[in-house]
Amino acid sequence: MLKKYGFTKKERLLKRAEFDRVFKNGRIVRDTVLKTHWMPNGLEYSRLGIVISRAVKTAVARNRLKRLCREAFRLNKHVLPKGLDIIIIPKIQNATLDVVSKSLLSHNERMKNAK
């Protein structure tokens, strides 16, 4: 059983093939903050992958965005639908945790309606 607010290795998309499968066969939800690719994974839990463009110039900024996305997922995964592979692509560089969380939750509503 997973901890409610943990973020274990099995909750991550790690392999290129997993990312490619979601990009090729998944659905897309977007707004001004995030672009989210998602598709069902047949598991009892959702998994997260994060893609940050090199357009975000410094590694410090890229790593900060990754941390924000992971934290938003970790804090809101009990609200998100189960059994999805989710890839988040941040669209703005100076995002805050609050902005990313709100965007992810708005995507959540659209994912639930489309499921």
Predicted pLDDT of residue 77: 87
State which fold the 10-114 domain adopts.
Ribosomal Protein S5; domain 2 (3.30.230)
Residue 62 to residue 64: CA distance in whole angstroms: 5
Blockwise average pLDDT, block size 10, the chain, 115 residues: 74 95 94 93 93 91 94 91 93 91 90 72
pLDDT score at 1: 47
pLDDT at res. 114: 67
Query: What pLDDT is recorded for position 3?
Result: 62
pLDDT at 34: 92
Asked if residues 34 and 100 have their Cβ atoms less than 8 Å apart, the reply is yes
For Cα atoms 102, 89, 95, give the angle at the middle one, nearest 5 degrees: 50
Domain positions in the chain are: 10-114
